[in-house]
């Protein structure tokens, strides 16, 4: 009985290996047979890198990629990130103030009768939250 069990386990193991071999081959790294294939792949990756870098600079301003991902010292990059986060906090406060004022004015004008104060308060709180969120999300660090 033991030999029969061992044989069945061995057959099951071989069946699992046979079933997973094609899947493992599908995830294997490709082999580039020639230098030309490797060079062509490298050139394509470099071209994509240059396009991505230009897109980043276009989106965040000229030189933004170098400012954020510069090959300089780590302290300089950390200082640039910290300055960006400080700017983001300032924008968030400014957005909250402007949004609160605008929301209070709109809320007061929308409210009717004796509920103008309540409308101003609700509009101010909602406007401050919305303005803060918009300003925070407009600064990318």
The rounded distance, in Å, linking the Cα atoms of 92 and 110 is 26
Domain segments of the chain as ranges: 39-69, 78-141
The rounded distance, in Å, linking the Cα atoms of 110 and 135 is 25
* pLDDT of 20: 64
pLDDT tens digit string along 65-123? 777 776 556 666 677 778 888 888 888 888 899 999 999 999 888 887 778 888 888 99
Q: Model pTM?
A: 0.44
Cβ(92)–Cβ(134) below 8 Å: no
Helix (H) or strand (E) holding 137: helix 116-138
The rounded distance, in Å, linking the Cα atoms of 56 and 71 is 16
pLDDT tens digit string along 16-45? 666 665 655 555 555 556 778 888 889 999
């Amino acid at each position: 009985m033991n030999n029969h069990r061992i044989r069945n386990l061995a057959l099951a193991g071989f069946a699992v290996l046979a079933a997973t071999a094609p899947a493992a081959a599908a995830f294997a790294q490709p082999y580039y047979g020639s230098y030309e294939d490797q060079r062509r792949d490298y050139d394509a990756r470099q071209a994509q890198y240059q396009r991505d870098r230009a897109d980043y600079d276009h989106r965040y301003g000229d030189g933004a990629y170098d400012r954020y991902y510069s090959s300089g010292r780590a302290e300089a990059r950390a200082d640039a990130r910290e300055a960006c986060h400080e700017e983001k906090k300032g924008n968030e406060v400014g957005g909250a103030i402007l949004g609160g004022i605008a929301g209070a004015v709109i809320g007061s004008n929308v409210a009717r009768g004796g509920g103008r104060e309540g409308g101003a308060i609700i509009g101010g709180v909602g406007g401050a939250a919305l303005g803060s969120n918009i300003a925070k999300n407009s600064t990318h660090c």
